[in-house]
């Protein structure tokens, strides 16, 4: 199938959307600024009923619940993990005490922000959570694109149409074919630019006049990887350059090599080398792998590996100078987040 008529998706400036439930003006202000710097769109609501209504109607990559809203805030925490659309959203909770922090982690929170809040703390937490947010955004990202597609049913000639959008889990097609939900077919289309043919056993999951939605039920690991990479590039194309840089660092393998192999007399170059050294640490690679692992069973093993590497690195940093203070702080934050993630995974 030719892709000569493929049309590019409309650019989007949002990395993802976040529901923020709080009635604290200062917290709302700090969180909104921090999220906007990562091209996230905050949806602010001050009451529980509005928050629950939004969770039922929309998909969010992240949800932030302020326990200061009142006892019903715990209801929101419970509903999030039962929500079909938002059960895998990255969940933050704002707490005022150790007791509230324990409640938050038990309810499935990935991260807890303790009062008094500061921009620095919020920025750090969002930074370490960003890999999970990117994964969540990519999982549900639907690339709007119109390319030729073919639908193959047993004993029936191929029916051709054009895609409306493509995601990791399926595709929507504009076609004259009428099929009922549950029907098994084979879908075929070719990804633009890469000319990679995707062929997948699929199930009809919805239908309306002139359109069919399909869920992939059998896609080879190689093709799934190719599709994920193509979607990641499409998603990246719609991001501001400053956020795209962060996105690339989380979707590509981090650099390896001797962190101390490059020296430069300028302070700016020294700072860049220091940041590069931090990014190439083994503990950070393992930490990100634990955060981004969707399978609960596999996540526990990755958490253990990450914690072991992080404790080893902490011992190494014990004899270093103030130039490694940033990494020490990141290790403290990361270990605390892993403790919460471990509790939520049980």
pLDDT value at 145 more than 90: yes
For residue 247, being part of any structural domain is answered with no
Which residues form the domain of 332? 255-345
pLDDT value at 222 more than 70: yes
178: tokens are 């009428």
For residue 232, being part of any structural domain is answered with no
Nearest in space to 320 (alpha carbons), one of 260, 262, 276: 260
What is the distance between the alpha carbons of residues 198 and 227, in angstroms, rounded to a whole number? 8
CB within 8 Å of 294: residues ≥ 6 apart:
88, 135
Domain count, the chain: 3
How much is the mean pLDDT over the chain? 79
Q: Among 106, 140, 174, give the residue marking a domain's end.
A: 140
Same domain, 39 and 107: yes
Q: Among 140, 167, 182, give the residue marking a domain's end.
A: 140
Strand partners, 200: 187
pLDDT at 102: 85
Q: What angle do CA 144, 233, 258 make, to 5 degrees?
A: 165
CATH, residue 214: 2.40.10.220
* Residue 67 per-residue DSSP state: G
For residue 245, being part of any structural domain is answered with no
pLDDT value at 88 more than 90: no
Q: Are 64 and 31 in contact (CB under 8 A)?
A: yes
* φ, ψ at 178 (rounded to 5°): -115, 120
Same domain, 147 and 111: no
Same domain, 262 and 341: yes
Same domain, 287 and 322: yes
The SS3 of residue 246 is: helix
Q: Are 247 and 239 in contact (CB under 8 A)?
A: yes
For residue 235, being part of any structural domain is answered with no
Nearest in space to 196 (alpha carbons), one of 233, 164, 223, 160: 223
For residue 172, being part of any structural domain is answered with yes
Same domain, 49 and 61: yes
For residue 21, being part of any structural domain is answered with yes
Same domain, 271 and 323: yes
Nearest in space to 227 (alpha carbons), one of 211, 216, 213: 216
- pLDDT interval class at 7 (50, 70, 90): very low
pLDDT at 256: 32
Chain CA centroid to CA 261, Å: 33
CATH, residue 69: 3.40.50.2300
For residue 32, being part of any structural domain is answered with yes
For residue 242, being part of any structural domain is answered with no
* Average pLDDT score over residue span 55-64: 91
- pLDDT interval class at 239 (50, 70, 90): low
Same domain, 61 and 99: yes
Same domain, 52 and 133: yes
Q: What order of strands is seen across the sheet that includes strand 62-66?
A: 40-45, 16-21, 62-66, 90-95, 111-114
Question: Does pTM top 0.85 for this prediction?
Answer: no
Q: Among 109, 140, 171, give the residue marking a domain's end.
A: 140
Q: Are 194 and 230 in contact (CB under 8 A)?
A: yes
Same domain, 48 and 29: yes
Strand partners, 156: 153
186: tokens are 């084979």
pLDDT at 238: 65
């Amino acid at each position: 199938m030719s892709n000569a008529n493929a049309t590019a998706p409309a650019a989007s400036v949002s990395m993802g959307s976040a529901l923020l439930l709080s009635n604290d003006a200062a917290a709302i202000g700090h969180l909104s600024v921090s999220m906007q710097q990562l091209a996230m769109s905050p949806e602010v609501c001050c009451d529980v009923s509005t928050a629950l209504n939004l969770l039922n109607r929309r998909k969010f990559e992240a949800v932030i619940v302020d326990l200061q809203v009142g006892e019903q805030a715990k209801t929101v925490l419970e509903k999030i993990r039962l929500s079909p659309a938002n059960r895998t959203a990255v969940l933050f909770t704002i707490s005022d005490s150790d007791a509230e922090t324990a409640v938050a982690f038990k309810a499935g929170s990935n991260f807890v922000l303790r009062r008094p809040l500061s921009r620095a703390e919020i920025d750090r937490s969002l930074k370490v959570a960003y890999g999970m947010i990117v994964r969540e955004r990519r999982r549900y990202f639907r690339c709007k694109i119109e390319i030729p597609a073919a639908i193959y049913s047993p004993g029936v000639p191929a029916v051709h149409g054009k895609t409306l959008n493509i995601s990791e889990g399926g595709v929507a097609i504009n076609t004259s074919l009428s099929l009922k939900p549950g029907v098994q077919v084979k879908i075929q289309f070719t990804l633009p630019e890469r000319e990679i043919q995707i062929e997948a056993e699929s199930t009809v999951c919805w239908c309306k006049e002139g359109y069919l939605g399909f869920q992939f039920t059998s896609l080879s690991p190689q093709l799934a990887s190719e599709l994920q990479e193509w979607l990641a590039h499409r998603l990246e194309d719609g991001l501001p350059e400053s956020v795209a840089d962060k996105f690339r660092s989380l979707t590509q393998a981090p650099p390896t090599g001797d962190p101390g192999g490059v020296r430069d007399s300028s302070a700016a170059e020294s700072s860049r080398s220091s940041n590069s050294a931090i990014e190439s640490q083994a503990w950070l690679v393992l930490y990100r792998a634990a955060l981004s692992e969707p399978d609960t069973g596999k996540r526990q093993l990755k958490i253990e590996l990450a914690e072991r590497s992080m404790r080893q690195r902490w011992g190494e940093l014990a004899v270093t100078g103030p130039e490694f203070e940033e990494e020490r702080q990141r290790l403290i934050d990361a270990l605390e987040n892993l403790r919460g993630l471990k509790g939520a995974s049980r």
